[in-house]
Amino acid sequence: MGLLTIGAFARAAGLTPKALRLYGRVGVLAPAAVDSESGYRLYDPRQVPLARLVAQLRRIGMPLAQIRAVCELEPAAAAQAVTAYWRQVSVDTAARARLAGLLVDHLSEGSATVSRTNRTVAVRYAAGCDTGAVRDSNEDVAYASERLLAVADGVRGPGGAAASAAAVDALTALELADGPAVDLLTMLAGAVTDADRVVRELATDDHQPATTLTALLRSGTHLALVHVGDTRAYLLRDGELSLLTQDHTWVQTQVDQGRLDRDEAGAHPQRAVLVRALGGGQQVEADLALRAALPGDRYLLCSDGLWAVVDRVALFSTLSAAADPEHAVRALVHDARAAGAPDNIACVVADVVAV
């Protein structure tokens, strides 16, 4: 059998000549020969299976550069590459779906809170970090500014302190950026992906550092919350203390499934095992939320060095009693120390005030 014209080959492969010209140009599927007289492209019939594969990969949305790489692989490796591609598409789609959901929530709640949020607010803040009474090193970070509040708890051992510092550093870059509240979430999601990569790069042959991260980034009267791991965010509003985050711990998954109750989880020897952390394995998935900053709100961000030893009732009374964020941070660290302070303590308190 001789060579086929582009039209005949396109019919045989189920592609258009236009698509074939594009694939030739980007090096995905080159013609077998070009007629030196007429300039016509000619294809070998044995190229049909490859052309069909390219068409199928295009149908699942794979970019041409990736298709070129897949076409050079043996079938087993190609199958793996397609699986990896599809996993990535699913992760990206889930992340976009989450952002879209948050955007919808934000847009629909807008009218309800507009009377209280429709003014300028400022934030008064304080941050404190304490090694505690038992550990001889500190892997926690507490950070606070007008725009950003953050705590991170790095794993014990080499690289833990660098991991928590890198996680907070990735967010401080966003303090200078400004834009609509919804952009905050997109920026935060991007910063967390960057931080995850930086933390993974801290790995040595036998050790992978990891860290939690819980942070609030403010833009005007909006606060974007990002959370991974078992550091926590609480809100004291109208005389009630609520927990805004969910611990990404193994014991919490057991509580959610009804296998452990709250007290058993708190006393479990594996209560600190994280199921999500920066540097923790597969691409990290952070919880994201958008909140309205209302005058009178008091936020608390802290590591498990505080919340695991000071119960909710005590947190509430110390937070409610403190005159300002500095006193609150000092009193909370004092409470943790009074409870034995077996772990590092990171603590940020911030008040939203009308200006």
- Residue numbers at the binding site for Mg ion (CB under 5 A): 153, 303-305, 343
Residue 137 or 242 having the CB closest to Mg ion: 137
Residue among 322, 305, 290 nearest 140 (CA): 305
Closest distance of CB 82 from Mg ion, Å? 41
Q: How far apart are CA 261 and CA 247, in angstroms?
A: 14
Residue among 331, 354, 244 nearest 289 (CA): 244
Closest distance of CB 155 from Mg ion, Å? 9
Q: How far apart are CA 249 and CA 300, in angstroms?
A: 20
Residue 57 or 315 having the CB closest to Mg ion: 315
E strand residue ranges, 131-169: 140-144, 148-153
Name the β-bridge partners of 4: 43
**Residue 129 near residue 344, CB atoms below 8 Å:** yes
Residue 47 or 303 having the CB closest to Mg ion: 303
* Residue 333 tokens, joined: 């660290």
Pairing of strands 213-219, 240-243: unpaired
**Residue 209 near residue 192, CB atoms below 8 Å:** no
Amino acid at 289: A
Closest distance of CB 168 from Mg ion, Å? 15
Closest distance of CB 156 from Mg ion, Å? 8
How many residues comprise the chain? Answer: 355
Closest distance of CB 212 from Mg ion, Å? 8
Residue 304 or 351 having the CB closest to Mg ion: 304
Place of tokens 């540097």: 279
Residue 185 or 341 having the CB closest to Mg ion: 341
Closest distance of CB 199 from Mg ion, Å? 16
Amino acid at 318: T
Closest distance of CB 251 from Mg ion, Å? 14
| Beta-carbon count within 10 A of 313 CB | 9
